[in-house]
Amino acid sequence: MRQNYANNPQTVDGVTVGIVEAPQTLKGIPSNLDRVRRAALISHPELPHATRAVSTERPQGGDTAANNRTVLQQHVDFFDRDKDGKIFPRDTYVGFRRMGFNVLLSAYAVLVIHSTLAYPTHNHWIPDPRLPIITGNIHKCHHGSDSMVYDKEGRFMPEKFEEIFAKYDRDNKGGLSLRDIFNLWNNHRDAYDLFGWSAEFLEWLALYLAAHNEKGVVPKEAVRGQYDGSLFYQLARKQEAKEAAKKDTREKRK
């Protein structure tokens, strides 16, 4: 029998999940038990999945799954245009422009990403002044204050992914609003981790700007797609179609 946790928010199905003596435990209580139970649709959601970003809706993962690439590597492969294992600042700029970001935001993304994430991926102590990001070492860029959906080896943790929506999609709208994202970010901040706070905020803000729908919600599938990079290809195709339509309109007016 399902526990009525609306009247007793500290207990869910007989399990104590929050106590009034520790008010912080009353935040982020799963608001939709059906989502928690549906995690059983995923094969071993408690294990890290190296090559597939899976969800209850996509238990086999997305279209970009590659058996020789970790999920985190797939996340950045969109920007590696020549597939040489290196992402240079220009590659990042072009990638953001392809997704529809304007010149200013694309340039800002290059500055932040390459100034902070390039060096940790290098194979030598002496930094490469061109600031490439080595995709094979992208797991070394794992930072604190995040959702832990990626583990430190760049694998995907299905339980952590589903937990995001069980906790923060409180009205069961199938995605995250800007307020949900702020609550997620605020609850995941680690003490004194200014870099982690900033990185996580910028990552989620960029996702919201790129993928929110007309209701101001980032759909769950869009969130899943950004983890394995499939969302980036979708945004690029959408932007290409939009530009092609504008070109056709201009030609018809001539």
Q: Which domain holds residue 153?
A: 45-253
Please report whether residue 24 resides in a domain: no
Q: What are phi and psi of 175, to 5 degrees?
A: 180, -165
Please report whether residue 3 resides in a domain: no
Please report whether residue 83 resides in a domain: yes
Query: Percent of the chain, pLDDT > 90?
Result: 63
How many domains does the structure of the chain reveal?
A: 1
Predicted confidence at residue 35, as pLDDT, reads: 59
Q: Which region, left, alpha or beta, applies to residue 28 given φ > 0 means left and ψ of -120 to 50 means alpha?
A: left
Number of other CB atoms surrounding residue 205 within 10 Å: 14
Please report whether residue 21 resides in a domain: no
Q: pLDDT by residue (tens digit) across 34-63?
A: 655 566 678 888 899 999 999 999 988 887
Q: pLDDT by residue (tens digit) across 138-156?
A: 999 998 889 999 999 999 9
Q: What pTM does this model have? A: 0.84
Is pLDDT of 8 > 80?
no
